[in-house]
Amino acid sequence: GVGPSDASPDEGVVEDLPLIDEKAVEQLAEGLISHYLPDLQRSKSALQELTQNQVVLLETLEQEISKFKECNSIVDINALFSEAKHYHNKLVNIRNEMMMLHEKTSKLKVSGINI
């Protein structure tokens, strides 16, 4: 025959559950929410502030990066000016040499030597 050990372990569980009081569930839910909600709201506002600070930080970084780019272009301009000065000096030297050669040839012509 069928003994007590053959009965399903879940048998009779549904009948053993008390009726769920919806008002109690609602009150428990409200209590749980009221317990965690202030912390969650504080966390939300802290995260919003952090996000705003990150935006400000990013904008500041972008400004600093643009300053560095300007500094690099200034360095490039300085290099260009020093190169221009170098070539200007070369031109001045060539002009001086040409004037000196012109003087020498003029003196030679005056002396009666045709070049």
Residue pLDDT, tens place only, 1-50:
555 555 555 555 555 556 778 888 999 999 999 999 999 999 999 999 99
Q: Does the pTM exceed 0.85? A: no
- Asked if 115 contacts 108 with a C-beta cutoff of 8 angstroms, the reply is yes
Stated as kind and residue range, the H or E segment containing 9 is none
What tens digit of pLDDT does each residue of 50-102 get? 999 999 999 999 999 998 888 888 888 888 899 999 999 999 999 999 999 99
70-85: burial string, b at 16+ Cβ within 10 Å, e else: eeeeeeeeeeeeeeee
In the DSSP assignment, the letter for residue 10 is T
